[in-house]
């Protein structure tokens, strides 16, 4: 049985993962308005991945004997200055999520909740990959110049994500 502090924190993270999905979907819609289909494709897949992360928290809460408590999801912003500012926010957001996951891990360790610690280990590793992917795109955008015509190649490359 989960301690209340852990259950509450896991529910909060479930909501954060669903917000991440919503945020990336909003970013994809914005990139569609710029006719940057590759960027939009990458962000839509990222949205689906974040939804899957939320479902992992949902499933774990149920399996561990907790109660799922869904909360309202804040509306994300809907426009940005450019592709570069979108991915600057993606990177900053992934860094924030990393901090949330680390905080959860610290709580699980403090509460001696070894099952939750094991569950969270996957997310700790996943966040390394998430930050690396976002950082790489930010670097490429900055190297090419944050101008739509210059980003044509990168748009094409991001459209290949499976």
Mean pLDDT, all residues of the chain? 96
Q: Quote the CA–CA distance of 53 and 56 in Å, as a whole number.
A: 5
DSSP secondary structure string for all residues of 46-97: HHHHHHHHHHHHHHHHHHTT--------PPPP---S-HHHHHHHHHHHHHHH
* pLDDT tens digits for range 50-74: 999 999 999 999 999 999 999 999 9
Q: Which domain holds residue 113?
A: 4-158
**Measured distance CA(73)–CA(121) in Å, rounded:** 25
d(CA 96, CA 90): 10
The whole-angstrom separation of Cα 129 and Cα 97 is: 12
Percent of the chain surpassing pLDDT 70 = 100
Where residue 70 sits, what CATH number does that domain have?
1.20.1260.10
- pTM (2 d.p.): 0.95
The count of domains in the chain is: 1
- Crossing angle (nearest 10°) for helices 4-33 and 37-63: 170
Q: Classify residue 110 by its DSSP letter.
A: H
């Amino acid at each position: 049985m989960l301690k209340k502090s852990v259950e509450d924190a896991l529910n909060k993270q479930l909501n954060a993962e669903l917000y991440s999905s919503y945020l990336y979907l909003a970013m994809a819609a914005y990139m569609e308005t710029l006719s940057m289909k590759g960027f939009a494709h990458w962000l839509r897949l990222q949205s689906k991945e974040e939804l899957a992360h939320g479902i992992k928290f949902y499933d774990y809460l149920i399996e561990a004997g907790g109660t799922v408590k869904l909360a309202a999801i804040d509306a994300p912003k809907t426009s940005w200055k450019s592709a570069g500012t979108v991915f600057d926010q993606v990177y900053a957001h992934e860094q924030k999520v990393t901090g949330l996951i680390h905080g959860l891990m610290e709580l699980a360790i403090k509460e001696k909740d070894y099952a939750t610690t094991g569950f969270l280990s996957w997310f700790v590793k996943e966040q390394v990959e998430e930050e690396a992917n976002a950082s790489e795109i930010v670097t490429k955008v900055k190297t090419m110049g944050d101008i739509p015509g210059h980003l044509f190649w990168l748009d094409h490359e991001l459209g290949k994500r499976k």
